[in-house]
Amino acid sequence: MNDPVDKGSDDDRVFKALASPVRRRMLDELKRSEHTTGSLCALLPELDRTTVLQHLRVLERAELVTGRRIGRERRLSLAPLPIKRIYDRWISDYMHAAVDLLDRLDGG
């Protein structure tokens, strides 16, 4: 089983990756469909290729994006498990607590 300290640093990488609006935009595009590096660059014309690749490296280190080679192309896909891990650890419990509080306030 993984050490909790390792999970914390995994979560830190995910939060760091999600902190950037550009990287969130990239993830939104990858959620819609698989992309090549070139097609992702075309969707971000305000950024040069080097900058897009730097952002991709951050997303890959956080394990939010995976890449596989098909011939000369590199196909990029969203890897949703790190986001689910964040949801399970940080969001779901708070969501349930908020719903319970609203229910109590409503007289339920």
Helices (H), 44-91: 49-61, 81-86
User: According to DSSP H, which parts of 1-108 are helical?
Assistant: 4-18, 21-32, 37-43, 49-61, 81-86, 92-105
pLDDT along the chain (108 residues), means of 10: 55 94 97 95 96 97 95 94 86 73 74
Domain ranges of the chain: 4-80
Reported pTM = 0.77
Distance in angstroms (rounded) separating the CA atoms of residues 98 and 103: 9
Q: What's the fold here for domain 4-80?
A: Arc Repressor Mutant, subunit A (1.10.10)
